[in-house]
Structure 1
Amino acid sequence: MFLVITCALTAGAAALRVARAGTRMSYVGAGAPVVVINVPGLSWSGRGLSAYPVLRDHLPKAAVGTLFRFASSTEFCAASAWSTISAGSVHGPTSGTTTGPRNCATGVRRDATGLPESLARTEGYPGALAHAAEQHGQCVSAAGEYAALGAADSSGRVDDFRADPADFATTCHLTLIDLPPGSARRLLPMVLRRVPAGPDVIVAGLSTVPGRPANGLGAIVCWGPGVRPGELTSHQTRHPGLVAVDDIAATLYRSVGQTQLAGYARPLLSATATPPFSAARAARRRTAALAVSSSLAAPYLTCAFAGLAVLLIVLVVLLRTARRVRRRRIWALVVAVSSTLAALPAACLLVNTVGWESAGRPRLALAVGVSLIACLIGAAATATRSYRLGPLFTVCVLTWWAMIVDTILGTPWQLLSMMGLLPEFASRYFGMGNLGYGTFVTVTLLTLSVVGSAARQVWSSRATMTVVVLLGLLSAAVDNGPGLGNDGGGGLALVPAVALVLWNMSAKCHRGRWIAGTVVITCLWSLACAGLDSLYPPEYRTHLGFYFDRLVHHDDISEFTHAISINTTFVQSRWWISLIPALLLLSIALALVPKSALPAWTFTAWRFDPIVSAALTTVLFAWTLGFLVNDSGVSIPAAGMLTAFPLLLAFGAWERPAGDIPPGSVDSTGVVGVVGGA
C-alpha cells in the first residue's frame, strides 16, 4: 500500500505540474522603451491600490505581482533600490562605512553629481546599466532625487537628469522616475498622463517609506505593448505573481540588448493564465500570507516547540513517580505529544492547502491551522502505538509524501511555510532550501530504513534492495534534480546517506569498497544534476548550472569556499546558533559510546533496536555532511532535530501490550524499554 500511494502521489503531482506548464508568457520590455516609476511603499497590504485610483484604472490591461525588496523587517531605501536597478544585483549601504547616515529617513542623498561610496558591491556594479545602454547605442534618463543612481554611469554622469519627477523626458530608451514619499499620490497621475503610448510602463514599490514599518513585500503593476494582462513572474522566482527588485533590473538590461546578466536576476515575464483583477486579489492574499508566515515563524515555532518540550519533561517526571497503573496512560500522552511535536514541519506545509490567508484574522488562522493539522497527525501516529515503529513511521511517511508532492509542484507550500524557504530572509524562492532539506533528509532516511526492514520480512533481499534504491533515487531526484529541488549541497549528503542505508541492509561488503563506491556515485550524481542544469540557456539556469560552468570551464571553486565562509559566519552570529553544532556533536557521541556508559535516566530504547539505531546513524551522517557542505548548513541539523528527537521519545515510549518491559531487558523483537523509566 505504501508503494502504491507513493507512486500515485508522485504521478499525480507530476501530471498536475505538466498541465500547468502550458501557460503562455512573454517578456516585459522586449525591445520596446521602458518607463520605471518608483512609488515608495506601494504594496498590496493595507489599502493596497485603493490609495492610487489611477493604477486601478490601468488594471484591465496590466500584469501584476508581488515584489520582493530583500528586506524582511527593515527599510529598503530608495538609494539601495535604484543602485540595485543600476547594478543588476542587490546593492545597498553597508554598515561598515562611515561616509554618512545609514537609514532611509536621513539616508544618502545623491543626484547626478556622483555615486555614494557606501554601496556594497556584489555581482554587478553601480553604473553597469548605463554602460550597457551605451554599448548598444541607447541612453538612460532619470527624474527625481534618487533615480539618478539608477541611470548614472560609474563616473556619476546621467544622459538626461531632471530634478522634478513630473518634468521627466522620454527621449531615451529607458526612463527612470523616483517619486518622493510625501507627494507620490499627487504626482503619480500627473506622471502617467505624460507617458506616451509606446513604452512599457512599470510602476512598483521599489523602496519603503522612511520611518514606516516594512515587511519587504511591495506591489508591481505593468502595462504596455509588450505586456500580456495577467500575472508577472520570472525565472528567478518561478512562482506565478512573484518577482524581485533585481528582476526589474534584468528587464531593463534585456530591453537595451544586454542578455548576459550578473547574478540570478531574470527579466519579468507576463502570463495570461489569470485575469488581471483575479491576479490582483491573488497578489493581496499572497502578500498577506508571506508577511504573516515570516512574522510568525520565530514566535510561533519557538512557543510551540518550547511548550511541547516542557510538557514532555513534565510527563517524564510524572512517569518516574507514577504508579504502574497510571504509567500506560502517561506513556500514551508521551507518544501523542512527541508525535505532534515531530509533525509540526509537515503541518506547516499542509496548512497552505486550506486557504488560511483568506480568513479575517490570518495570523490566528495560520496558528490554529498548523496546530490542528499537527494534532491530527499526532493522533494518527498515536493510534499506531501498539506497533513498535508505528508512530515513527506514520509521522515520517506523511512528512515525506508532503515534501515530495510540494517539490514536484514547484514548492508552493514551502514558499509560504514557516519552516520552508522564507524568501524574505534567504532570497530563495523555489526548490529545496536548507531548512526544508533538514526535515526532508531526516524523514527520508528514517522512512527508507523502516520500509527496508519491513520489506525484508516478505520479499527477497534483492527485491528489498531494489525497492530501497528506487525510493532513494526518487528522493535524491526530488531534492537535487534540475527543475525540482535544485539543491546543490543536498545531494552531496543525501546520496551517501542512502548508500549507508543500503550498506546496513546488505551483508556489509568490504568497507573500503563501499566508501570508494559511495564517493564515486555521489560525485557522478552531483555532477550529472549540475551538468543537466548547465545545458539550459543562461536565463533558465539555477545556481547548479552556474557552479558547474565555473568548476568545469574556469576551475573556480570559490563557491564552495564561499559557502564554508558563510556557514562559519552564521554559526558565530548568535550564541544560540552555536549550540546546534554542539548538539550535533553530543548526538554523535551518544550514538558511539557504549550503552553501559549512558545514565539510567536517558531514553535508550533506540540504541538496542537494530532498525532505529542504523537509521539514526545514517541521519547523523547526513546532518554532518549537510552541515559541512552547505552555506547556512547549520540549519540542516537544527531542522532535522526538531523531527528526529521527538520521534525518539515516541519510540522510547513503546511497550508491549502485555505490560511494561523491564529495565535493561530485550524482548523478542529487539526493543528495550526505557532504562530507569519502567
Structure 2
Amino acid sequence: MTRLALALLVVLAWALGAAAPASAEDGEPRVVVLGAPGLTLADLSPEATPTLWEMATGGATANLVVRGGYLQTCGVDGWLSLGAGDRVAVPRPGSPDLDDPGAAPECPEPQSDEIGAVAGWSEIAELTRERKADATLGVLADSLVAAGTCVEPAGGPAARLGAADADGEVGDGSIGCAVRLVDVGAVQDDGGETGRAEQVRAVDAAVGEATGDLAPGTLVVVAGLGDDGAGPALRAVIYSGGTDAGPAAEPGSLHSVTTRRTGVVQLPDLTADILARVGAEPVAPVAGRPLTLVRDGGQGEADERIADQSDVAGQLAVANRSIPPFFYGFATVVVLSTLLGTAGWVAVRRKDSRARQATSLGLRGLALTLASVPAATFGATLTRWWAADRPTLALAGAVAGLALLLGLGALAVTRGAGRRTLTAVGIVGGVTALLLTADLLLRDGEAIFLGVLGLHPWDGGRFYGFGNVPFALFATGGLLATTALLDPFVRRGRRREATLVAALCAVVILLVDAAPFAGADGGGTLALIPALGYLVLAVSGARITLPRLLLIGIATVVGFLTIAGLDHLRPEKSRSHLGRFFGRILSGDAWAIIERKLLTNVEMLLGPQRAALLVPVGLVLVVWALARPGSALARPLAGPLEDYPALRPGLIALVVALTAGFLLNDSGTAIPGVAAIILAPALAALAVGSHRSAAATPTARRSPAAPPPSATPGSPSPSSRG
C-alpha cells in the first residue's frame, strides 16, 4: 500500500510539473531567441556560418515575414513586434522611406540602458494607437509575468524592446526567466558582398557564443527580425533543440496557421509559439498562432529544404525589385501600341477592305496579346527567370512568349473573324480565371504567392487565397468569359437558357472566390454578389427596379454572412479571415476593421502617389459611357455594344464588382487599375473587330443613297453574328 501511495505521489508531482506555468530551472531559460535583423537563409553555408548551418540542418527552418508598421522593417521594429505579438513600429520621423517606399529607412538607435523604462516609450505607444489600435505592446513580457516567470534581454540594446512590458519597463531577470532575448547583431546591405559576408560571419560567431553554455534541452530560435535596408524581403528563422520547451525542433520545416504555408511564417507567430511552449497564455490577443513542424522525409533532405526555402525568398526578392521596371516597360509598350495602332487604323480606313481586314486582324492580335499578360505572369513562375543574370529581361521574355501564345491562340481558335472577337476575349479571360483557380486548388496558390501580380507576401497582407490584385484579375477574366458564353443566348432571345448559364457561372465564380479552401476573399465576395446578381437579372429580361436592387443588396449581406458564419464554425486554427471577421462581428469589434479599410483607401488616394486619384475618375468615365451610349465618350463602344447584346450587362456587372471591390477592400485602389490591364485591351480588340468598324466606308466615298453598312447586301445581320 505504501509503494502504491508513493507511486501515486510521483505521478501527481510529474503531472503538476508538466502542467505548471513556465519557470526557469536553476535560473536557466527554456527558450532563447537570438535576433539578427537582415539575416536570410541564403546567407547560410557550411563554410561561412558553421554554427548556423549545423542548427539549420539539424533543426527546423522557414522564411520569416517581418513586416512591421512600415513597409521596410527596422531591427527595432522587429524586436518591438516580437514583444507585442503584432505588427508595430518605432517612430522614425523624417525617414526617407516614409515618402519614398524604395528609399532605405533611417532606423532609430536603441538606448543601452539595461533595466528600467525604455526611452521614448510614450511616443511608441502613441504611434501604436494611431496606426495599429488593436495591437497591445508588451504582450510577451506581461504574459510571462502572469504565468509566474519573466523575459530577460541580453546582448545588444535592441532586445530590450522585445522584453519591455506594456508600460515600457524592462526587468533585470534576477529571478531566472523562462525566456531570454539576445541581440546578436544585424546584417545590413552595404552594396557589396564582402561587407555582408563579414557581418554574417560576425552573427554566426555571436550565435555560437550565446549558445555555448546553454542547457542541452533549451529551445534556440534564431530570427532575422528586420530588413537589411535594401527593401522588404523574407528573412530567416531557425529552431534548434527544445526538449525543455515543448517538442524538439527536429529537422524539417515550420508551418504557420496564419500563412497556411509550410516554410513561410510571420513574426507574430514566434510570439504565440514561444508563449505556448512555456505554458503561458497571452494576456491580450496576438496576431500569430503557434507553429507546427513538418518533418523532412529522410536523410540528406536538410540541404535541399534550405535551398528550396532560400529559392522562394530569392525569387520574391527579385520579383519585388523587378516589378517597377517590368511594369514601366509594359506601360511603355501599351502606350506605343495604342499610338501606332490608332495611326495605322486611321491610315487604312480609307483603303480597300482587304487592307482594313488585315490591319484589323493584326490590331486584334496585339490587343489580345496585351490582355494575356496577367495570365502569362503567373505562367512565368514555372520558369527560373529570377535566377538569370538579367532577371527583368528574362521575366519580360517569358511573359511575352506566353502572352503571344495565349493571345494569338485565342485569335486562331476564332479563325480571326472580327464578328467573333468576343469569343476570343472570353477565351483570354477564361484562361486567366482558370489558371488562378487551378493554382489555388492544385498547387496551393504557389503561382499567386510568387507572381509579380500575386500576393506580394513581403507586404504582409495576404499569404493564401485571393488578395486585391488576383481578385481583380479573376473577377475580370471570369466576367468576360461569362459574357462571351451568354452572348449567343441573349442574341437569339433565349432568355431562359441565358439565365441558367449566368446563374451557373455566378455560382462557380462565387464558390472559387469565397470558399475558405480557395479564394477565401471576404471583400471580393461582397463585391461579386451584387455584380453577379445584376447580371442574372439583366440577361433574364427582368426590369431592374428599386425593389429588385434592394433584394440584391439583402442577398449580398446574407450570402456573405452565411459564408463567413460557416467558416467561423470550423476550428479556430482552420478559419480564414472570413471566419475571424465573423467572430469580430459577434464580439462587436468589426467596426475597427471596416474603419481601417476605409482609412487605408483614403490614405492611398491622398498620399504621395497621386496617380491613385485616377482610379475613381476612370470608374466614373466608364459608368458614364455605359449609362449614356449616345455620348462622345461611348462612341468607341458603340460598335461592340451593337454587335454583342450581352456585352452591356456584362460590362455593367464588371463595373459594379470593381467599384464595390475598390470601396470595400483596404488598398482597394489597386483593383480597378489592375483589372484595366485585361479590360482595356479587350475593349480595344472588340472595337477594332466590331462589325461597324470592319464595314465602315468613308462618308466622302459613299453614295448618299447607299444604305448604312449594317444593311448592305451580303453583310451579316445582327442575328447571324457570332
Residue 276 to residue 357, structure 1, CA distance change in 2 (3 Å): farther
* Aligned match of 1:403: 436
Q: Secondary structure in 2 aligned to 1:40?
A: coil
* Aligned match of 1:22: none
Alignment of 1:213-228 (within 5 A): 213-224=230-241, 225=243, 226=247, 227-228=249-250
Alignment of 1:414-563 (within 5 A): 414-425=448-459, 427-454=461-488, 461-509=495-543, 511-554=545-588, 556-563=590-597
1:650 pairs with 2:679: no
Amino acid paired to 1:450: A
* Aligned match of 1:197: 216
Match of 1:114 among 108, 114, 117: 117
Distance 1:51 1:584 in 2: 55
Contact 1:480 1:488 in 2 (8 A): yes
* Aligned match of 1:36: 33
Deviates most, 379-388 or 198-207:
379-388
**Structure 1 residues 391-436: Cα deviation after superposition (integer angstroms, max 9, x where no partner):** 2111111101011112334322111111111122352211211111
* Aligned match of 1:82: 79
Distance 2:580 2:571 in 1: 11
* Aligned match of 2:405: 376
1:284 pairs with 2:310: yes
**Structure 1 residues 156-185: Cα deviation after superposition (integer angstroms, max 9, x where no partner):** 443445xxxxxxx99422111111235423
Deviates most, 460-469 or 246-255:
460-469
Residue 493 to residue 433, structure 1, CA distance change in 2 (3 Å): same
* Aligned match of 2:701: none
Could you list the runs of 5+ residues in structure 2 that have no partner in the other structure? 1-20, 24-28, 99-103, 187-198, 699-707
Residue 389 to residue 634, structure 1, CA distance change in 2 (3 Å): same
Residue 190 to residue 282, structure 1, CA distance change in 2 (3 Å): same
Contact 1:81 1:206 in 2 (8 A): yes
* Aligned match of 2:320: 294
Cα deviation, residue 41, structure 1: 2.1
* Aligned match of 2:423: 390
1:635 pairs with 2:638: no
Distance 1:222 1:180 in 2: 18
Residue 302 to residue 152, structure 1, CA distance change in 2 (3 Å): same
Aligned CA-pair RMSD: 3.2
Match of 1:154 among 166, 184, 187: 166
* Aligned match of 2:185: 180
Amino acid paired to 1:290: L
Cα deviation, residue 193, structure 1: 2.1
**Structure 1 residues 244-284: Cα deviation after superposition (integer angstroms, max 9, x where no partner):** 22221221232342267635322222212553222101111
Distance 2:445 2:110 in 1: 38
1:142 pairs with 2:153: yes
Amino acid paired to 2:117: G
Residue 536 to residue 96, structure 1, CA distance change in 2 (3 Å): farther
Residue 247 to residue 48, structure 1, CA distance change in 2 (3 Å): farther
Deviates most, 621-630 or 319-328:
319-328
Give the TM-score, by structure 1 length: 0.86
Cα deviation, residue 83, structure 1: 0.8
Cα deviation, residue 457, structure 1: 8.2
Distance 1:338 1:642 in 2: 11
Amino acid paired to 1:548: F
Distance 2:657 2:501 in 1: 21
Cα deviation, residue 333, structure 1: 2.1
**Structure 1 residues 630-656: Cα deviation after superposition (integer angstroms, max 9, x where no partner):** 211111111111111100111112156
Distance 1:133 1:73 in 2: 28
**Structure 1 residues 477-527: Cα deviation after superposition (integer angstroms, max 9, x where no partner):** 211222322211111110111111111211315624422331222111100
What count of residue pairs does the alignment treat as equivalent? 633
Residue 267 to residue 662, structure 1, CA distance change in 2 (3 Å): farther
* Aligned match of 1:335: 364
Q: Secondary structure in 2 aligned to 1:576?
A: helix
Distance 1:658 1:562 in 2: 47
Q: Secondary structure in 2 aligned to 1:219?
A: strand
Contact 1:312 1:338 in 2 (8 A): no
Q: Secondary structure in 2 aligned to 1:594?
A: coil
* Aligned match of 1:586: 621
Q: Secondary structure in 2 aligned to 1:414?
A: helix
Contact 1:72 1:216 in 2 (8 A): no
**Structure 1 residues 21-41: Cα deviation after superposition (integer angstroms, max 9, x where no partner):** xxxxxxxx9999321111232
Distance 1:64 1:625 in 2: 40
Contact 1:128 1:153 in 2 (8 A): yes
Q: Secondary structure in 1 aligned to 2:466?
A: coil
Distance 1:598 1:367 in 2: 33
Alignment of 1:93-104 (within 5 A): 93-95=90-92
Match of 2:333 among 287, 301, 307: 307
Contact 1:69 1:245 in 2 (8 A): yes
Distance 1:596 1:106 in 2: 57
Distance 1:265 1:237 in 2: 9
Q: Secondary structure in 1 aligned to 2:237?
A: strand
Q: Which has the larger radius of gyration?
A: 2
Contact 2:92 2:107 in 1 (8 A): no
Residue 518 to residue 414, structure 1, CA distance change in 2 (3 Å): same
Distance 2:524 2:693 in 1: 43
Contact 2:319 2:386 in 1 (8 A): no
**Structure 1 residues 531-553: Cα deviation after superposition (integer angstroms, max 9, x where no partner):** 12222333333332232122233
* Aligned match of 1:267: 290
Contact 1:444 1:475 in 2 (8 A): yes
Distance 2:70 2:405 in 1: 33
Distance 2:261 2:106 in 1: 30
Distance 2:570 2:35 in 1: 33
